[in-house]
Structure 1
Amino acid sequence: MDITIEDQRIDGPHGEIPVRVYTPPGEVRTGLVWAHGGAFFGGDLDMPESDRVARRFASRGITVVAVDYRLAPILDWTTGVASPAAGRVHYPVASEEVTAAFTWASSTLPAARGWAIGGASAGGALTAGAALRLRDSGGPLPRGVLLAYPVLHAALPPLPAELAAKVATLPNADLIGAEAVSRMNLNYVRDPAALTQPYAFPGGHDLTGLPATFLLNADFDPLRASGQQYGAELAAAGVDLVLVREAGTRHGHLNEPDDPAAERSIDRMADWLLS
């Protein structure tokens, strides 16, 4: 039997939210609500980081609900200028939509061992913020939080010397550094005051009481500074944590299906979800 894939639209706080549900052919062992990356203004349900990851998880007995959350205005990386476009939104819309998708999935779809929540890159920020929202609302918490090369701080933490040396070898180092991350984050929230909101960027805020977390960092990736710092903050808050650095990888490697490291990362994440 094959994986069943169904596009649906669910009710959300800002209108309907498109989701894609991947149901395993046999026993559903656990569930995952998954948010793709794309710098808050890009990405979709067809990109490998969403579709291929979801298919691979479903092949392991994990029902996946991939969330087509609303995107921020398109940003020019070099100038920091955003292009207004119909349907484009700012924080907190996407964050609240990911939260709503988890609430819907966990209350509607069967999963013997419960539901986790996860995301990659910008989707990791949405996921981590949703976990805080769910904690603070007093509602059911995810059984776990899965973060892949996430951005978790409003400003990129300083890069350790080892990471800075690796990033310096990248051909696009200037386009993915601290200044670019700051532009991206501000484009997401629009209001500079919102950068301090824990649901926008949880790094540096109270993380006590969060579910167990699996945090996968890419090796040659400036955002690893954020992932590593967040891992330290989770540990200090007493949160159960698995922190992994996938050797030799760059940011977004889950979008490279031919990269063996992408397969390793997917297997690591699936193993943790099923453990």
Structure 2
Amino acid sequence: MTQDARVAGAPRPASRARERLALPRPSAKATATGIAVAILRHVAPGLLVRIAGRATDGGIPPFVDLLRIAELAGTLPSTDPSSSPTGILARFPQLADVATRDVVIAGPHGPVRARTYRPPHPSGIGLVWVHGGAFISGDLDRPDAHWPALELAHRGVAVVSVDYRHAVRGVHHPVPSDDVLAGWRWAAAHAAELGVARGALHLGGSSVGASLAAGVAKRVRDSGIPETTPAGLVLVTPFLHSSAAPWPADLLARMRASTRSAVFSPDDLTHLAWNYAGRRSVLDDPYAFPANGDLAGLPPTLVITEEIDTIRTSGEDFASRLRAAGVPAVVRMTPGAAHSSMSRPAEPTAQVTLDAVAEHLLGRWSPQA
């Protein structure tokens, strides 16, 4: 049948195909790795961590391969046993004074897991925190979820760490955002019993968790429902755009040569965004990618970037546009750090990043500075 012979208004397969964001095919090695990870997760998790740690010494696979592994295995394996919850307490025994409790929150797509961290000496400040993981991995035990929450609570900040569904096996925006919004609303409703003073509950996250946090802040701003507005945003190494800025190949090579940690290519970041969006129209959505649309009326914002990180331009641009919209915003860069240093608590740069967050929340410097 020709295009002219179609019934007016009938769905057009070509249009649907153009709307769907198709990623490159993963490698056969990624499929084999995903199957192996799925098996080892259940029969030899300790061996899996050691194997994954050695594998990352040669750099991380392309995003589409990571996605394939995560879809087959359910998550991406940890690469550092010292960054497990047990390992963190062994390294930082003073953090054992923080009381934690796992909670389950009702969300629109089912239960949302969260964990509260109660300070031994509360300051009245609170933070809802969201972990990273490229939208496809991570949980409440992930180092950039558990370690910052323990550290901040030890210093007096009550923390609610919120998990979310991964963008795998057909899950796309807004499902992870909906989970984080449910976590925010729960924390706001329970702020007083968590020891958080009125108007002192902040929202933030690490990497794509920071993107989810910023998107939820925009949803809260635009909801028209009387609910607590975040006192501030804390965005650590955020990726807030639907595509990545280009990087010269020689500079990208020098960055990769200077660290054993992940340095994402612009193509990988774009594929990450496409996978989260699922559909072409979502790339312009201001809640899926918070750099889109109006930024006026958002809370005062701290953006932390890291030097050896292609994602840093996203945070820098977002902060600049916040200031242009009249929102107080500051960028602080951690020198010598690779992306998501808080996922690697043993690194000195992780402590520098963590200290900047703590100083901001506890009021030792002003985002208006």
Same fold (TM over 0.5): yes
Matches of 1:149 and 1:167 in 2, distance apart?
A: 20
The higher-RCO structure (CA 8 Å, 6+ apart) is: 1
Against the structure 1 CA distance between its residues 175 and 220, is the aligned structure 2 distance closer, same or farther, given a 3 Å change threshold? closer
1:9: which partner in 2? 104
Against the structure 1 CA distance between its residues 2 and 174, is the aligned structure 2 distance closer, same or farther, given a 3 Å change threshold? closer
- Specify the structure having the higher radius of gyration (Cα): 2
Does structure 2 retain, via aligned residues, the 8 Å contact 1:158–1:225?
Answer: no
Does structure 1 retain, via aligned residues, the 8 Å contact 2:153–2:159?
Answer: yes
- 2:181 aligned with 1:99, yes or no? yes
Does structure 2 retain, via aligned residues, the 8 Å contact 1:157–1:229?
Answer: no
Q: RMSD over aligned Cα, in angstroms?
A: 2.0
Q: Note the C-alpha offset of 1:164.
A: 7.2
- 2:139 aligned with 1:44, yes or no? yes
For each residue in 1:106-147, what CA deviation from the matched residue of structure 2 results, as whole angstroms up to 9, or x when unmatched? Answer: 111320252100011110110110010011013321000000
Q: Kindly provide the amino acid, as one letter, of the partner of residue 4 in structure 1.
A: A
2:204: which partner in 1? 118
Q: Kindly provide the amino acid, as one letter, of the partner of residue 143 in structure 2.
A: P
Count of residue pairs brought into register by the alignment: 260
- Moved beyond 6 Å, runs of 4+: 172-175
Q: Kindly provide the amino acid, as one letter, of the partner of residue 96 in structure 1.
A: D
Q: Note the C-alpha offset of 1:26.
A: 2.4
- 1:23 aligns with one of 111, 118, 122: 118
Q: Kindly provide the amino acid, as one letter, of the partner of residue 317 in structure 2.
A: Q
Q: Which segments of 5 or more consecutive residues in structure 1 lack a partner in the other structure?
A: 74-83
Out of 141-150 and 255-264, give the one that drifted further. Answer: 255-264
Matches of 1:36 and 1:183 in 2, distance apart?
A: 20
Q: Note the C-alpha offset of 1:28.
A: 4.1
- 2:359 aligned with 1:271, yes or no? yes
Please report the TM-score for the alignment, with normalisation by the length of structure 1. 0.89
- 2:285 aligned with 1:190, yes or no? no
- 1:132 aligns with one of 197, 204, 218: 218
Matches of 1:6 and 1:70 in 2, distance apart?
A: 20
1:80: which partner in 2? none
Matches of 1:195 and 1:228 in 2, distance apart?
A: 20
Out of 21-30 and 57-66, give the one that drifted further. Answer: 21-30
Q: Note the C-alpha offset of 1:248.
A: 0.5
Q: Which segments of 5 or more consecutive residues in structure 2 lack a partner in the other structure?
A: 1-95, 364-369
Does structure 2 retain, via aligned residues, the 8 Å contact 1:167–1:173?
Answer: no
Against the structure 1 CA distance between its residues 6 and 165, is the aligned structure 2 distance closer, same or farther, given a 3 Å change threshold? same
Matches of 2:218 and 2:113 in 1, distance apart?
A: 23
Does structure 2 retain, via aligned residues, the 8 Å contact 1:106–1:114?
Answer: no
SS of 1:89's partner is: coil
For each residue in 1:3-38, what CA deviation from the matched residue of structure 2 results, as whole angstroms up to 9, or x when unmatched? Answer: 110001011121111101101112242111100000
Q: Kindly provide the amino acid, as one letter, of the partner of residue 272 in structure 1.
A: H
1:62: which partner in 2? 157
Q: Kindly provide the amino acid, as one letter, of the partner of residue 105 in structure 1.
A: A
Q: Kindly provide the amino acid, as one letter, of the partner of residue 238 in structure 2.
A: P
Please report the TM-score for the alignment, with normalisation by the length of structure 2. 0.67
Matches of 2:215 and 2:334 in 1, distance apart?
A: 24
Matches of 2:253 and 2:362 in 1, distance apart?
A: 33
- 2:313 aligned with 1:231, yes or no? no
